[in-house]
C-alpha cells in the first residue's frame, strides 16, 4: 500500500476508532513502529501492543488488498525482524535504559563508618557489605569504580552486571557440570556446556596425566600421528593396584599430600585393631577431625551396619501385645 493511502487512516485519534477496524489496525501498527524506531518502548508496552495485535489478528486485516497472513510476516515487513528477535531487542533496550538511569541517579554506596551519618542502607537481600540486585551493584560501581559508572551512564554497557564484571566487582561463576557414572554422558555434557575446543583440550590434558609417554608431540599429535593398533586399547586398561613392595613410597606420598579432594576429612593413620589395610599401604583410613586422626572409617561403617541390624532385629521381634495372655480356664 502506498504511504499516502495509509496516511488517511491516521488522521483521527486511535481511541475514536472501532478496535479491529482497518483504520484502528493501521494506527496501532504505526504507533508500534514509531516507538520501535525511536527505541522508546518498555517491556510492558511491547507486551501490551502485541496483546492487542493478537486479540484482533491484525495480520489478517491489513493491508486490506493482501493481508500479511501471520504475525512474523507482518513484523518482518514493518520492523525488519521476527517476534522473538524483536522481543529480545526490546528487553535489551530496557536493561540498558534502566542501567543508564541507575548509573545517573543512584548514590555511591557508603563506606565503613559512614552509616548513621545521614546515610541509610538501601533495601537488599542483606544489610551488610554484599548483595546482588542492580541498585546495590550500581552503588558499589559508583563508589569503587567511578570511571566504569560513567561509561555505564553513557550506555557503553548493556547492564549493571556487565559493567561490574568489567570493573572486577563481580566475578562470574564458571559453568557447573554434573559428573555421571557413564563416562560417555559426562563427555557429552562437557561438549554441550563448554564447547568442542574446551573438550579437546581437556582430553589432551587427561591423556598427559594418565599416559605421559603417549603424546609428546603437542596438541596436533592426535591429528597427525599414524594409528598404532592396540595403543587406544592400552589407554583403556586400568592400572593394577600398587603392590605391597611399593607401600612405603605410596604411604609417604599420601601422608604428605593428603587424599584426593573428594575425601578432605580423611587421612591415613596407624593400622586399626581389626587390621583394615587401605590399598596395601599398611595403614588404615581414618577420620580427620580438627586436625586430629580419629576412628577407622571401615570400623565405623561396620559398627553402624551392626547397629542398624540389631535395631531392625529388635523392632521385628514379637512384643507382649503380639501374643496376648490366654484367659484363665473356667472352673
What is the structure's pLDDT at 113? Answer: 61
Distance CA 86, CA 253 (A): 60
Is the distance from CB of 94 to CB of 155 less than 8 angstroms?
no
Q: What does the pLDDT look like over 159-205, one tens digit per residue? A: 888 888 999 888 888 778 878 788 888 888 888 888 888 888 888 88
* Residue 298 backbone phi and psi in degrees, to 5: -70, -35
- Who wins on pLDDT, 225 or 274? 274
Say if residue 318's pLDDT is above 60.
Answer: no
What is the structure's pLDDT at 99? Answer: 83
What is the structure's pLDDT at 214? Answer: 47
| Count of beta carbons in the 10 Å neighbourhood of residue 165 | 16
Distance CA 61, CA 25 (A): 8
Q: Which of 120-129, 277-286, 320-329 has the highest mean pLDDT?
A: 277-286
Segment 13-25 mean pLDDT: 89
Spell out the residues 6+ positions from residue 299 whose beta carbon is closer than 8 angstroms to its own.
272, 274, 276, 284
Q: What does the pLDDT look like over 275-300, one tens digit per residue? A: 888 888 888 888 888 778 888 888 98
Q: Which of 235, 228, 189, 226 is nearest to 208 (CA)?
A: 235
Say if residue 90's pLDDT is above 50.
Answer: yes
Find the radius of gyration of the CA atoms of the chain: 36
* Residue 250 backbone phi and psi in degrees, to 5: -65, -40
Q: What does the pLDDT look like over 28-64, one tens digit per residue? A: 998 888 888 877 777 788 888 889 999 999 999 998 8
Amino acid at each position: 500500500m502506498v504511504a499516502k493511502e495509509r496516511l488517511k487512516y491516521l488522521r483521527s485519534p486511535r481511541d475514536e476508532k472501532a478496535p479491529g477496524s482497518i483504520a484502528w489496525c493501521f494506527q496501532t501498527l504505526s504507533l508500534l513502529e514509531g516507538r520501535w524506531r525511536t527505541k522508546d518502548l518498555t517491556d510492558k508496552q511491547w507486551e501490551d501492543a502485541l496483546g492487542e495485535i493478537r486479540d484482533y489478528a491484525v495480520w489478517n486485516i491489513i493491508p486490506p488488498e493482501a493481508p500479511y497472513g501471520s504475525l512474523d510476516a507482518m513484523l518482518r515487513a514493518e520492523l525488519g525482524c521476527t517476534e522473538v528477535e524483536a522481543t529480545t531487542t526490546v528487553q535489551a533496550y530496557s536493561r540498558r535504559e534502566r542501567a543508564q538511569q541507575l548509573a545517573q541517579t543512584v548514590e555511591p554506596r557508603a563506606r565503613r563508618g559512614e552509616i548513621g551519618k545521614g546515610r541509610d542502607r538501601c533495601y537488599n537481600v542483606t544489610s551488610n557489605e554484599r548483595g546482588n540486585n542492580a541498585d546495590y551493584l550500581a552503588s558499589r560501581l559508583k563508589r569503587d569504580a567511578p570511571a566504569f559508572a560513567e561509561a555505564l551512564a553513557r550506555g557503553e554497557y548493556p547492564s549493571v552486571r556487565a559493567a561490574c564484571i568489567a570493573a572486577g566487582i563481580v566475578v562470574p561463576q564458571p559453568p557447573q557440570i554434573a559428573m555421571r557414572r557413564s563416562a560417555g554422558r559426562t563427555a557429552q555434557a562437557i561438549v554441550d556446556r563448554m564447547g568442542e575446543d574446551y573438550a579437546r583440550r581437556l582430553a589432551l590434558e587427561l591423556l598427559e596425566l594418565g599416559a605421559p609417554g603417549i603424546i609428546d608431540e603437542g596438541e596436533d599429535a592426535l591429528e597427525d600421528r599414524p594409528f598404532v593398533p592396540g595403543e587406544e586399547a592400552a589407554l583403556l586398561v586400568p592400572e593394577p593396584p600398587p603392590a605391597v613392595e611399593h607401600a612405603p613410597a605410596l604411604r609417604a606420598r599420601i601422608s604428605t599430600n593428603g587424599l584426593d579432594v573428594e575425601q578432605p576429612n580423611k587421612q591415613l593413620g596407624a593400622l586399626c585393631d581389626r587390621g583394615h589395610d587401605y590399598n596395601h599401604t599398611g595403614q588404615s583410613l581414618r577420620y580427620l577431625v580438627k586436625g586430629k586422626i580419629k576412628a577407622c572409617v571401615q570400623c565405623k561403617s561396620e559398627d553402624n551396619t551392626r547397629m542398624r541390624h540389631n535395631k531392625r532385629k529388635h523392632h521385628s521381634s514379637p512384643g507382649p501385645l503380639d501374643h496376648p495372655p490366654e484367659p484363665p480356664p473356667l472352673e
